[in-house]
C-alpha cells in the first residue's frame, strides 16, 4: 500500500473513492511521517499493548500504530471512510476498524470484547493514540477522564489553543475548569508543535501533540470527587466576578454559606477562580462538603 504522506497521494485515494471531506467532522488528514513517528514514539508502544485510535481518517497513523502495538482498535464515525480504511489497512493485520461514536463508547467493554478480557476494567490498561477531530476534543477528554476507564495514557494531536489550556498554570487566561480536570487525572506533557501544512486539507489553526499520563493516584485528597468538580465549574462559571460572587451565582449555595465556607478553607473571597491552584480547589471543595 502506497504511503499517504503527500497531498497528491491523499487526493488520489479520496478521489478514487469519491470521498468528500466533511469539515463538520473535523476531517484534516495528517500526512507528515516525522510527526506520525513522534506520536507513536511518545506512546511507547509494544506488542503487549492495545491502542485505541479515534478518527483514523485515511489510516495513515493506524498503519504505523499497527506496526508497534499488539492490537489497534480504530473508531471512525464517518461510514464513508470505511471503504478507504478497508483498502489502506488491508496489510495491517493488527488493526480493526470500529464504526461508531467515540463519545458514546464504553472503552473498557470494547477492549475486553476485542481482546478476550485481557484489557479493560480490572485487567490490563490500554492506551489511546490519535489525531483527534477538533470538534470533539473537549467532550472526548471529559468522557475519557471521568468515565473510570482503565486508560494508561493518551498521546493525542489537538488544537494548540486547547493543549495550552490543558497545561496552563493558575493565574493565566488559559487556566480553566478543563485545566483542573486534566491536571487532576493526568500529567500533561507537550510532545510537539505542529504546523498547518502537514494536513490535508490544512486546518485554520496550529496543532499540538500532547501526552497525558494517567496519575496512579489523585494529587490531592478529596472528601467527594463529584463535589470537587461542581465547585471547580462554579468558580470558573463567571470569570470576571470574584470567587465569592461566582460561587454564590452558581446555585450550589447562597452567599452567606459561601462566605463561611471560604473562611473555613482559608481563602480570600475577593480572589478570582482562575487564581486557585489544584490544592486550593481541594481545600474549598472539602470545606464545602463538610459544611453543606
* pLDDT tens, residue by residue, 3-17: 777 888 888 999 999
How far is it, in rounded angstroms, from Cα 280 to Cα 163? 23
Report DSSP state, residue 233.
H
Cell triple for 224: 467527594
Of 72, 108, 103, 100, residue with least CA distance to 88:
72
Of 253, 288, 280, residue with least CA distance to 180:
280
Banded pLDDT at 120 (limits 50, 70, 90) = confident
Banded pLDDT at 122 (limits 50, 70, 90) = confident
Higher per-residue confidence, 83 vs 121? 83
Containing 156, the helix (H) or strand (E) segment is strand 151-159
Binding residues for S-adenosyl-L-methionine: 28, 30, 55, 76, 101, 131
Which of 25-29, 121-125, 250-254 tops mean pLDDT?
250-254
pLDDT at position 2 is 62
How far is it, in rounded angstroms, from Cα 174 to Cα 169? 8
Return the CATH class of domain 7-214. alpha beta
Q: Does domain 225-291 have CATH number 1.10.8.100?
A: yes
Q: First and final CA of the chain: distance in angstroms? A: 62
> Does 137 score more than 80 pLDDT?
yes
**Region(s) of the chain under CATH 1.10.8.100:** 225-291
**Region(s) of the chain under CATH 3.40.50.150:** 7-214
How far is it, in rounded angstroms, from Cα 158 to Cα 180? 18
* Sole residue written with cell 499520563: 213
pLDDT tens-digit series, residues 161-185: 999 999 999 999 999 999 999 999 9
Binding residues: 28, 30, 55, 76, 101, 131
> Does 130 score more than 80 pLDDT?
yes
pLDDT tens-digit series, residues 44-53: 999 999 999 9
Helix (H, G, I), strand (E, B) or coil at 222: coil
How far is it, in rounded angstroms, from Cα 238 to Cα 226? 20
Amino acid at each position: 500500500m502506497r504511503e499517504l504522506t503527500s497531498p497528491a497521494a491523499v487526493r488520489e485515494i479520496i478521489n478514487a473513492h469519491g470521498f468528500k471531506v466533511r469539515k463538520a467532522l473535523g476531517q484534516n488528514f495528517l500526512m507528515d511521517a516525522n510527526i506520525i513517528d513522534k506520536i507513536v514514539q511518545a506512546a511507547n508502544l509494544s506488542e503487549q499493548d492495545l491502542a485505541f485510535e479515534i478518527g483514523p481518517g485515511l489510516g495513515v497513523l493506524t498503519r504505523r500504530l499497527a506496526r508497534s502495538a499488539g492490537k489497534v482498535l480504530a473508531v471512525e464515525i464517518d461510514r464513508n471512510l470505511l471503504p478507504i480504511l478497508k483498502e489502506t489497512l488491508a496489510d495491517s493485520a493488527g488493526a480493526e476498524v470500529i464504526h461508531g461514536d467515540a463519545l458514546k463508547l464504553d472503552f473498557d467493554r470494547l477492549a475486553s470484547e476485542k481482546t478476550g478480557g485481557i484489557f479493560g476494567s480490572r485487567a490490563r490498561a490500554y492506551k489511546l493514540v490519535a489525531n483527534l477531530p477538533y470538534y470533539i476534543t473537549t467532550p472526548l477528554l471529559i468522557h475519557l477522564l471521568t468515565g473510570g476507564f482503565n486508560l494508561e495514557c493518551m498521546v493525542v494531536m489537538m488544537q494548540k489553543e486547547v493543549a495550552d489550556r490543558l497545561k496552563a498554570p493558575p493565574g493565566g487566561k488559559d487556566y480553566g475548569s478543563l485545566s483542573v480536570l486534566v491536571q487532576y487525572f493526568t500529567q500533561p506533557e507537550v510532545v510537539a508543535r505542529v504546523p498547518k501544512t502537514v494536513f490535508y486539507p490544512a486546518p485554520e489553526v496550529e496543532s499540538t501533540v500532547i501526552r497525558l499520563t494517567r496519575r496512579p493516584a489523585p494529587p490531592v485528597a478529596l472528601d467527594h470527587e463529584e463535589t470537587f468538580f461542581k465547585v471547580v465549574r462554579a468558580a470558573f462559571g463567571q470569570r470576571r466576578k470574584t470567587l465569592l460572587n461566582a460561587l454564590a451565582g452558581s446555585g450550589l449555595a447562597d452567599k452567606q454559606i459561601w462566605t463561611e465556607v471560604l473562611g473555613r478553607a482559608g481563602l480570600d473571597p475577593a480572589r478570582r477562580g482562575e487564581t486557585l491552584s489544584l490544592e486550593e480547589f481541594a481545600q474549598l471543595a472539602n470545606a464545602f462538603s463538610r459544611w453543606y
